[in-house]
Amino acid sequence: MTLRTLLVLGDGLPRQLERLSPRVEVVHAGPPGAASLADELPGADVLLVWDFTSDAVRDAWPAGDAPVPAWVHTASAGVDRLIFPGLVDSPSVLTNARGVFEQPIAEYVAGWVLAMAKDFPGTWRLQQRHDWRHRETMRVAGSRAVVVGSGPIGRACGVTLAALGVGVELVGRTGRDGDPDFGRVHAADALSGLLPGADWVVCAAPLTDSTRGMFDAAAFGRMKSSARFVNVGRGPLVVTADLVEALTAGRIAGAALDVFESEPLAADDPLWDVPGLLVSPHMSADTFGWRDALAEQFLDNFERWSAGRPLLNVVDKRLGYVPVG
């Protein structure tokens, strides 16, 4: 059997990779990664991007006709850090971690919706002051949500919100009827007409050239003043200054962000103190055991690759995501 070379980018190797020994040579390119990665990439059969927050692959990718890995896998749902001309134009197959993060993110979104509807942050602040203050809160059942992103994460968010009695409109790149969960998936150009009727706007779209900055002053201006916005997609999907202005001016009632244009947020970043904004440190998908799930998913796909069977979760590099169906 020909010895395969697996190159891993990240701080520490998943312990499950020991199961590949002795038929696979595992090479570690740890942080900062780019220098050693550039030396090792031409000799690798497979690249596992375990540190999916790194831009080292873009910086180290071989130029010209130099050898490249046959397969690149990222331990993330988003692939925007890997959609650069060298990799897109190469013969390398790109796969992602679709299937691991969907339900945890959907639960996180549902938690945020409930927290904002029931003013749990306000209750906690009042408790800290020992202030018994009765209030009325919003009923979630019967409210309306627009979920942007018709991939697995967006779909899971929509299904979970629907279980709470929320009416859900799902928006994807292209429209289609006969959807088993939502009846209809709206095309992206329908979003502007859907925003005025939404109590909740959930962004779970992939980051592409067409979606970058899609939530701007015009989008927030179409929402009603009682609407809340949630982003679990990618930070650059939102024009942050426009969101801050919308919240500060009371154009929308609140927002929750788990992703940001620049991460991590500095301790003195003004976003921490924006009124009506909930901030969390890119953790909506990260439940106990999530790294083990990522490693097992990769190993399953590695066995498929070794046996010459089709890989799962193949990304269309021109679109920037795994096509539905």
Q: What distance in Å separates the CA atoms of residue 16 and residue 19, rounded to the nearest whole number? A: 6
The tokens for 177 are 């009827």
User: Based on C-alpha coordinates, what's the Rg of the chain?
Assistant: 21
Catalytic residue among 4, 282, 291, 296: 282
Going by C-alpha positions, the residue among 128, 127, 57, 143 that lies closest to residue 92 is 57
The tokens for 121 are 């942050």
Catalytic residue among 15, 19, 176, 263: 263
Confirm whether 318 is a catalytic residue. Answer: no
Q: What distance in Å separates the CA atoms of residue 173 and residue 151, rounded to the nearest whole number? A: 10
Strand locations in the chain, DSSP E? 4-9, 24-29, 46-49, 71-74, 93-95, 144-148, 167-171, 176-179, 183-186, 200-203, 228-231, 254-257, 277-279
Confirm whether 234 is a catalytic residue. Answer: yes
Confirm whether 263 is a catalytic residue. Answer: yes
Q: What distance in Å separates the CA atoms of residue 97 and residue 295, rounded to the nearest whole number? A: 10
CB 110 within 8 A of CB 156: no
Q: What distance in Å separates the CA atoms of residue 6 and residue 45, rounded to the nearest whole number? A: 6
Q: Catalytic site residues?
A: 234, 263, 282
